[in-house]
A = this chain, B = another copy of it.
Amino acid sequence: MNLKEFAKHINLSASTVSRAFRNSHDISMETKERIWAKAKELNYQPNPLASSLRSQRTKTIAVILPEIANNFFSLAINGIESIAQEQGYHVLIYITHEDGNKQEAFLNSLQSGRVDGILISLSNSEAGKVPAELANKLPVVYFDRVPQDEEVLRVTTNDYESAYMATEHLIKKGCRKIAHFYFELHLSISRKRMDGYLDALRDHKIPVNKKLLLDCTRESHSREQIRTLMQSANRPDGIFSSIEKFALQTYEVCAELKLGIPEKVKVITFSNLQTASLLHPSLTTICQPAYDIGQKAASLLFQKLSKKQGSVSKKHFILSSELIERGST
């Protein structure tokens, strides 16, 4: 039985039936349920691939992100997913594992119409952004790790201000030798955090010591780098970490070296760790609004997908992070 024949059975137009199967908002819930019940009764299954070809809509969005075993990204996905569900969309998730080549391969595989739109947080590399040919074809919204490009639609937290605030927090707590653990300066998020750190030091007339700037991009090395720094003559009395992981490694290293936190060294980090308050000592964090960032990015994408295509004139949406002071500072 094809769609037309099925529609005849239920005395409705093929277009109504088709929209009901796409769960369109145009069709009342009552009609949809009547159609679905009839389909069940007659064991009729619409073919979604064929219907996608006709409507040119896959009802699917892609989310591309560096990793998933990470509180920021898993919360952001929950936010994205809550919006997609409202819109009757499916979410395809791609994990790049910080590999620029994988990111490129995923994007290539999306070239030919597998999804209607893309949400992406860039991988930790020089891979760069979505190629123009793809971005011309599909709406794209970047979140968190966005390219250095004023023209793209993007949602981030206030990275510069948060980093400034974190550094100033350490200064106010008496720290003078403040280290910054960062990753991948190719990402604008990392540069903004670095700038916030440097400007806070400058405004408080604390000279920059380059030996306290730790590039932890090679993640397999970061723990050893932190250990070396903490055993050196340049041991910092405060650490501002750009990434949760490096702060946790600092905790491990300090436990091994019997360096008390916060007595010997104070620690603050960007983090969405649920257990931050239960750590020993509890961890002072800059907490990003991860769920809200996901929701906002998804909302923008659907705005672009809807008829109001021209309506997103603002390009950069900034949601504020929050400093939560705990035992580590």
Chain A residues in the interface with B (C-beta under 8 A) = 45-50, 52-53, 58, 60, 67-71, 74-75, 77-78, 81, 90-95, 109, 111-114, 248, 251-252, 255, 273-275, 277-282
Q: Once bound together, how far apart are the Cα atoms of A69 and B113, in whole Å? A: 29
**Pairwise interchain contact B47-A112, C-beta atoms closer than 8 A:** yes
A38 to chain B, nearest CB (A): 14
CB distance from A95 to the nearest CB of B (A): 5
| A75 cross-chain contacts in B, Cβ below 8 A | 69
Let me know if B47 and A113 touch, CB within 8 A.
Answer: yes
Known: A92-B91, A95-B78. A111 touches B279 (CB 8 A): no
10 extra interface residue pairs, beta carbon distance < 8 Å, beyond A45-B112, A255-B278: A45-B113, A49-B49, A50-B53, A60-B92, A68-B77, A70-B74, A74-B74, A91-B93, A251-B278, A279-B279
Q: How many Å lie between the Cα of A281 and that of B67 in the bound state?
A: 29
Report how far A282 CA is from B67 CA in the complex, Å. Answer: 26
Which residue of B is nearest A88, CB measured? B109
Which of B53, B94, B275 is close to A275, meaning CB atoms less than 8 Å apart?
Answer: B275
A70 and B46 alpha carbons, distance in the complex (Å)? 35
Contacting pair B69 A90 (CB below 8 A) = no
Evaluate contact between B278 and A248: CB separation under 8 angstroms: yes
Closest-by-CB residue of B relative to A95 is B81
- For the complex formed, measure the closest distance between the CB of A270 and the CB atoms of chain B, giving whole angstroms: 16
Decide: A112 and B275 in contact? CB cutoff 8 A.
no
Q: Are B92 and A49 in contact (CB under 8 A)?
A: no
**Are B252 and A46 in contact, CB atoms less than 8 angstroms apart?**
no
Are A78 and B69 in contact (CB-based, < 8 A)? yes
Copies of this protein chain in the complex:
2
- A49 to chain B minimum Cβ distance, whole angstroms, is 5
Report the minimal beta-carbon distance from A98 to chain B, rounded to whole angstroms.
12
Closest to A67 in B: B78
State the CA gap A252–B274 with chains docked (Å).
12
Neighbouring B residues of A274 by C-beta, 8 Å? 69, 248
**A92 contacts across to B, CB distance below 8 A:** 60, 90-93
- Nearest-neighbor residue (CB-CB) of A62 within chain B: B90
Distance in angstroms from A158 CB to nearest chain B CB is: 23
**Given known A-B contacts A49-B53, A90-B92, A74 and B69 have beta carbons under 8 A apart:** yes
Q: Can you give 28 A-B contacts (C-beta < 8 A)?
A: A45-B111, A45-B112, A45-B113, A47-B113, A48-B112, A49-B49, A49-B53, A50-B53, A60-B92, A68-B74, A68-B77, A68-B78, A68-B81, A69-B78, A70-B74, A77-B95, A90-B109, A90-B114, A91-B92, A91-B94, A93-B93, A248-B274, A248-B275, A252-B278, A273-B275, A275-B275, A279-B279, A280-B281
Contacts of A47 in B (CB 8 A): 112-113
Cross-interface CB contact of A280 among B50, B70, B114, B280, cutoff 8 Å: B280
| A279 CB contacts on chain B under 8 angstroms | 275, 278-280
Complex alpha-carbon distance, A249 and B31, angstroms: 45
**Least Cβ–Cβ distance between A279 and chain B, in angstroms:** 5
**Chain B residue with minimal CB distance to A281?**
B280
A183 to chain B, nearest CB (A): 18
